[in-house]
Structure 1
Amino acid sequence: MMNKSLYLLQSSFSATPAALEKLAQVYGPEDSVVLMGESVLQFQQPFLQRLDRIYVLDTDAEILAGQTSEHMQIISYAEFADLCLNYSRCIRLN
């Protein structure tokens, strides 16, 4: 397992831009992001659009009303648990 991180972005809608600024400073090419809760509504932010791997839980994706991105993958809780096991660190930003 490489030294890669899974960032769990779980912030309110208004706090998400500040969390994304923090994320931009530490994000590496092997890292991935899971948008959770209200942060899902910020998926169109320019920083997120440049990332290759963005995940959204299927229960949170419901608030998108069908809007998606080519880099976004909708996953179940079981897939989320498996995803966490593929990373050396899971870091929550809120």
Structure 2
Amino acid sequence: MSENTLYLIQSDYAATASILDQLAQIHSPDDSVVLMGESLLYVEHDFLQQLPRVYLLENDAQILVSPLPEHATLLNYAQFADLCLAFKRCISMK
């Protein structure tokens, strides 16, 4: 189990820029980020492009993101559950 943090970004479109600014202040290099729902529309944000582990939910990405960015990894729901269980800390930011 990872001692790092998994950040679940679940904010609506209008709040996502502010959430990403907050995340930039607290994120550690080995942390991971999952974008969910409307927050996927910010997948090309400069901060997210420099992170080594950015994940998108497959169902959300099919609807909201095209083309898929190279710096992000798609997760189905089973993979998402496994990822959450691999971390001691999961923080939801809305």
Task: Please name the residue that 1:91 is paired with.
Answer: 91
Conservation of the 8 A alpha-carbon contact between 2:41 and 2:65:
no
3-state SS of 2:34 partner = strand
Q: Name the CA distance, whole Å, in 2 between partners of 1:11 and 1:69.
A: 20
1:37 aligns with 2:37: yes
Q: Greater share of strand residues, 1 or 2?
A: 2
Gaps of 5+ in 1: none
The AA in structure 1 aligned to 2:53 is R
Conservation of the 8 A alpha-carbon contact between 1:56 and 1:75:
yes
3-state SS of 1:4 partner = strand
Gaps of 5+ in 2: none
Task: Please name the residue that 1:5 is paired with.
Answer: 5
Q: Using structure 2 for the length normalisation, give the TM-score.
A: 0.93
Task: Please name the residue that 1:56 is paired with.
Answer: 56
The AA in structure 2 aligned to 1:62 is Q
Conservation of the 8 A alpha-carbon contact between 1:41 and 1:63:
no
Q: Name the CA distance, whole Å, in 2 between partners of 1:46 and 1:65.
A: 16
3-state SS of 1:17 partner = helix
User: Deviation of residue 65 (structure 1)?
Assistant: 4.5
User: Deviation of residue 36 (structure 1)?
Assistant: 0.2
User: Deviation of residue 29 (structure 1)?
Assistant: 1.1
Q: CA RMSD in A?
A: 1.1
